[in-house]
Amino acid sequence: MTPGVNPCGVRRRSMSRERPSVLFLFADQLRGRDLGCMGNPVVRTPWIDQLAHEGVLARRCYANSPVCTPNRGTLLTGLFPHVHGAVANDVPMAADVPSIGRVMRSAGYRTGYVGKWHLDGVPRTKFTPPGNRRHGFDYWAAYNCAHDYFRPTYYRDSAEPILAGGYEPVVQTDLAVDFLGSVADDEAFVLFVSWGPPHDPYDQVPDEYRQRYDPRELTLAPNARTAIDNPLARDLDPHETLRSYYAAVSAIDDQVGRLLVELDRRGRRQDTIVVFTSDHGDMLWAHGMMKKQLPYEEAIHVSLVVRWPEQLPPHVHEAPCSTVDLVPTLLDMTGLSAPSRAHGTSLLPQLRGERGEDRPVLIMNQCRFDEALVQGVPEWRGLRTVRWTYAETLGREPWLLFDNDSDPWQLENLAGNPAYRDVQDALASELGTRLDAVADPFADTLHMVEYCHATEAWDAREAYMAANEEEQRRLGVLD
């Protein structure tokens, strides 16, 4: 590719490396605790662990909306779903919403996106053409949504899908390496790489990775309930599933390693901010539940590692933070201004080692769909503080209250317990203040859809999912 010409054919000035580049890596449905650097003694993630050793490991990072499309929109905008528009899976993000891709492209960055997108509505096979629906990303090797890891498919700039051979994360990493190779030595870039695993179907992982784990040696968490009649867990053996899940995490770790080596090979280590995180977690039988859309730790807690050599001293960051903070943080790190209405806050001072405010994280499930309906999960809003998890259902009804210090597996729900009335009241007051600040009406699903001016998109989503239910379940993408 000719330096200074992006894949859409638009010539722009080559931006000197006066600002750092950004390599943003994220997995799908990866629980925060399931990395070596996060304390898991079994899962093997040497490359991510190395990244954490060289950078900042944020141990208390949370997905504000623990489900795919809404939180992916938040990762790219620093806005909560009711403002960026993608309030439910397969409801598209508003085409004109401010995004990190748009801001950085306007500043002269080369912008690229590789992997799962899931922000363009239905059908899930949809081609996202160059233009507003790519939200500022010029280099494009992405697919709206599929979890068919041995049939990797993606689009570039034409409506003909490209079917590649091999394991999808490897193919996507090859594409990311191609992008890095197209960037001029004096050019700043931002590249998002979105891998599908360890999202189910759990068994779609190369056997070489499964052989690294013996299911007989894997221990389920104390809050796991496997003797359940949960349709999402049928035909799944918990130990074999955990084996495959860890195998997929290790496979992603290898791809992280490939990209870190490529940065070094190209002399881009020092001037590139590397981020590793996930869009949300996975219940995996915790409390008898599967997947996400829940305020439990397994669903909301995600990993966050940020490396910026010579700018961020390696350390462990313990204050709560969340995915809505990442856009303001990255724009602050690159000397750019976040959109004025961003809901997140820059973490840069804290990532540099300064003591910050332990501000509670606002968490939410603004719409019920798919597994929430199957598992009887209501619409909810809540807070995660250093110590407490608190959640309410519609009508501001207290639902869950956990003391995560004394009860890390969240086995005792303290909501309504008179001994914790003062704690509950204080959290309820703080939650109300936070909801008012972001103009969240805390309404039921259909009213939230209407509030977001997304009724037509919601109706299209419901029709599509009903017509394609069998195929979607086969591919494990009813997420």
- Shared-domain flag, residues 415 and 316: no
Peptide bond into 198 cis (omega under 30): yes
Domain end position, chosen among 338, 359, 380: 359
Q: Are residues 32 and 53 both part of a single domain? A: yes
Domain contains 2: no
Same domain for 317 and 451? no
Domain assignment present for residue 5? The answer is: no
Q: State the total domains in the chain.
A: 2
The answer to whether residues 447 and 460 belong to one domain is yes
Out of 359, 392, 424, a domain closes at: 359
- Do 157 and 222 reside in the same domain of the chain? yes
Residue 401 shares a structural domain with residue 302: no
Highest mean pLDDT among 154-168, 221-235, 330-344, 347-361: 154-168
pLDDT digits (tens, 9 = 90+) for 188-237: 999 999 999 999 999 999 999 999 999 999 999 999 999 888 999 989 99
The reply to whether 459 and 353 lie within a common domain is no
Asked if residue 197 and residue 160 are part of one domain, the reply reads yes
Residue 310 domain-assigned (yes or no): yes
Task: Report how far residue 261's alpha carbon sits from residue 263's, in angstroms, rounded to the nearest whole number.
Answer: 5
pLDDT tens, position by position, 366-417: 999 999 999 999 999 999 999 999 999 999 999 999 999 999 999 999 999 9
Backbone torsions φ then ψ of 274, nearest 5 degrees = -110, 130
Number of alpha carbons in the 13 Å side-chain half-sphere of residue 77: 26
- 16 located within any domain: no
Domain co-membership, 27 together with 155: yes
Same domain (yes/no): 124, 179: yes
pLDDT tens string 289-331 = 999 999 999 999 999 999 999 899 999 999 999 999 999 999 9
Q: Give the chain's end-to-end CA distance (angstroms, integer).
A: 37
Domain holding 402: CATH number? Answer: 3.30.1120.10
What does the pLDDT read at residue 338? Answer: 87
**Would residue 13 count as lying in a domain?**
no
pLDDT at 475 (0 to 100):
43
Averaged confidence pLDDT in the chain: 93
For residue 7, tell me if it sits in a domain. no
Counting residues of the chain whose pLDDT is more than 90, the rounded percentage is: 89
Q: What are 125-155's pLDDT values in tens digits?
A: 999 999 999 999 999 999 999 999 999 999 9
Domain-embedded: residue 50: yes
Quote the crossing angle between the two packed helices 238-265 and 168-182, to the nearest 10°: 20
pLDDT of residue 379: 98
Same domain (yes/no): 378, 256: no
For residues 302 and 422, membership in a common domain is answered with no
Asked whether the predicted pLDDT for residue 4 surpasses 80, the reply is: no
**pLDDT for res 107:** 97
Domain boundary among 319, 334, 359: 359
Q: Domain residues for 46?
A: 21-359
- Give the residue numbers marked as catalytic: 68, 118
